[in-house]
Structure 1
Amino acid sequence: MPKIFWYYCVVAIGIGFLIFTVIKKKDIINLLSFFLSVASLGYLCEVLVLFVLDSYAYKPGVFSDPTAENILGHLICNGFFWGGIAVFVAAFSLRAVWIAFISIAFMLVEIWFLKVGAYEHHWWKLYITGAAAFVIFTFSKKWLSALKENKHKLVRKLTFFMTAWIILQSCSVLQSLFDKQHFLIGLVQNVYRDSILFSVPYQLCVAIIYSAFVSIHNKWYYTIFPLVINLIADSLFAFLKILNFYNGWNLFYFEFIRIMGFIIFILLEKYTLLYPSPSSKNVKG
């Protein structure tokens, strides 16, 4: 059985849980928006443990380059698998005992991946996966609850900061994975790893600008400002040969995707996760 088959399986499981949740809860737009932010948390945590600390390795068997293999496994597992189940846990507000059972199930999946050679540990331990799953799922439940309670505006702003980052980073890393563009600063020899080590902090800075201006200001010129800054920064990095393009790709295509991502972010921020405040719930018509 090809190793990638098992990755397809976890994708199907994650998407299945996500579809079941949004249909059962009848809150499709909000839960899909929350899915992006909670998947972003998983991606950000794994950038540290996978690409910086080299704790384990994904082996889907698609690319010859080990870092490209890690990127693909990283996108699949932390996006659809972890993200889909995190939304399920949060939306149904599962008790700790059920979260513990799900965490054990994640450990069993990891054992199977180790057995079939689709995954390997470096210094990582199985119990860390179980503990991390329990913490992340518990946090996701409290996170969605805080959004629904709508007592602290900062929670929503931080949520859309995470959403901005995942839109920015996922578009960039997919182009890098298929050798369309790489950010290269010479920090490490592997071009995929070098690109990630630069793009992650860069996109985090851009996400701060996105979320700060879009969430705080209502005037259109304030909304456009972060995109203009982003386009200028990208152009500067291209001029300095930090942002490089390959296989017929160019800055125009890169920025077109950037603009589409920005529009998606604007729509999500303006029309999703707009839960009523506690005071408005008590007002009777």
Structure 2
Amino acid sequence: MNVEEVRETLGDYLIRERESRNITTEDLARATHLSVHFIEALEHNDFSRFSQKESIPGFLKLYARHLPLNYEGVLKRYQLENERILKQLVQKELPLSRDYGSPVTQARGSRWPAGQLGRWIIPSACAVMAVAISLSIYLAPEKAQPPVVPSSAKFYSTAQDLQKPQPAPIQPNPVDADYPASSTPLPEKPAVPASAEPLMPLEKPPAPATVSETEKVVVVGNRDSKRYHLPGMKYYNEVKAYHRVLFDSEEEALKAGYYRARE
């Protein structure tokens, strides 16, 4: 594969070879049993349209067999095109790193001259020192006051008051103790009679039986490969849910544009 062939994308190569043989995408779709949607995706390098990436080499093999083309060369072009797309995605996602250690960046970062910088540093330092001194004076604890010693005259009068006899406490009247305070008993609450029989929960009526949807299915189609499977075939139950299309008959599947799969 020369340099010109490498520069040419896979889609450009497929379009050039198909048009040189006067084959339309509709003719190619009928011959290969591939949808026009997938053929256009291959020719425009839009591999994101395929839900299963592993099926792309098989589609390319059908494409190359009909024209005919060298399948190994087509597969090599697909691998190179896929690597190129991945590199473009990585370059878009990675942010551009800035070199802060380069002399150009350092020269751009120093915008303030040395004299102008010193003119602002000295007043700022003085202001910070003044604020620190003010806070230290404002938050300093007050000086401890000396304890107050009572005078001798006040102490002498207090001692005399303690020496005076104290009056006896008043005793309660014994007559009043013979008559205790009357108390009326509180009325008792009537007992709540227990229910004779517990309430039984209501039973829900049984749900009506429904017919399983799988019993109605006769033909299973694959939306991705445009092929259908009959009961008993190998991949009848292996078609994924997001690719599955159900038909009532084989004629209905053929009318929808599907082809019978191989065993």
Q: TM-score, normalised by structure 1?
A: 0.24
Larger relative contact order (CA 8 Å, sep ≥ 6): 1
Structure of larger gyration radius: 2
Q: TM-score, normalised by structure 2?
A: 0.26
